[in-house]
Amino acid sequence: MKLVILDRDGTINHEREDYIKSPEEWVPLPGALEAIARLNHAGWHVVVATNQSGIGRGLFDMVALNAMHAKMNQMLAKVGGRVEAVFFCPHTPEDHCTCRKPMPGLFQMIGQRFGRSLDGVPMVGDLPRDVLAAQSVGCEPHLVRTGQAATMPEAELQALRQQVSGLTIHPNLSAFADYLILREQRVQGEDSPVSTHTGEIS
């Protein structure tokens, strides 16, 4: 099984400083849903790993979170894409849980759910904690310059590169999807071109 793990806020959809608390506030980034669909069509199974401390903070409940993901799935279906599952941490930092990224708990749950090692599984997010969590379980770490990483100073990016071995940085989720698909085509010796979507930074 070809598995890929995506962060949610700032990677698939726009972030909000006051948290995304309802389906109405859940708005996909340009090209992100289509990127997931392209990954699906290339044989990738997509799962999401996301911190959702708004639940622990009392800003929204499970009904609202499920409604957000129902909206995401409905919008994905319209472009021919799907997410296999969403793994989320509802805790605040003060809870000191093992599932809030950069802790590895969510990733360990994914490995258990799919019955496989996560060594080499591509993971992409927009925050250092995403790639640090990915690195901790052997995933292949990728960062997108959307969400909070859009304004990350170059010095911080360089420091993160030194901290996370093998980190690859992309403009957005579309560019990440194209990277994986094109790399696989090259490995398989295919000459068919892949469309690129590298100018959709939000």
Give the integer Cα–Cα distance in Å for 79 and 132.
31
Amino acid in the structure at residue 172: N
Q: Which residues are catalytic?
A: 7, 9
